[in-house]
Amino acid sequence: MVTRRTFALAAIGTALAAASAVSGAVLAFVLGPLRRRAPQEPALLDVGPASAFEALRAGASPPEEVFVERAVEDGYMTRRVKERFAIVRDGRAASGLAALATTCSHLGCGVSWDRGRNAFLCPCHGGVYGPDGAVLAGPPPRPLTRLPLVVIGGRVQLDASALDA
């Protein structure tokens, strides 16, 4: 014998199941970006001939800005984006060089090198980084992201795999 109560509970249960099937699918779609895909192409990107950075390696010139194009997964498409990096001196690396991402670790604004203050400045909330990317002042919680540079066949190559992590 089906009572009104069991019938009502069954009806509510069925409705909830149907609703959660739909909203589960929607939720999975909305949260899709949480899934990380492996980068589509080799992570080594060409920065330029090693000879171009001799003065920098010797400590005779300030950090240098380079633009590197790479493919990024962007929603429904793969886009080629130009990214800006600062090439700095790095005594510990075999190449003598390292690349710093120019994205402020605070909230993602673009930092740029200031000759006068000998530091990277963020235009948003006043973050200041030293020539090695360490935080000197302001709100940034972490140093600038450092990416290894290797020299292969006289060309400086940037290992961008850390950027997708």
For other proteins, the binding residues (CB under 8 A) are 30-31, 33-34, 65, 67, 72-77, 79, 81-84, 102, 106-110, 112, 123-126, 135, 138-141, 164
CB of 96 to other proteins, least distance (A): 25
The residue ranges of DSSP E strands in 52-142, in sequence order, are: 64-74, 77-89, 97-101, 112-114, 119-121, 128-129, 135-137
CB of 121 to other proteins, least distance (A): 10
Both tokens of residue 41?
């192409």
CB of 92 to other proteins, least distance (A): 25
Q: Which is nearer to other proteins, 116 or 141 (CB)?
A: 141
Q: Which is nearer to other proteins, 18 or 107 (CB)?
A: 107
Q: Comparing C-alpha atoms, which of 69, 111, 72 is closest to residue 88? A: 111
Burial class (CB in 10 A: 0-12, 13-18, 19+), 34: exposed
CB of 55 to other proteins, least distance (A): 21
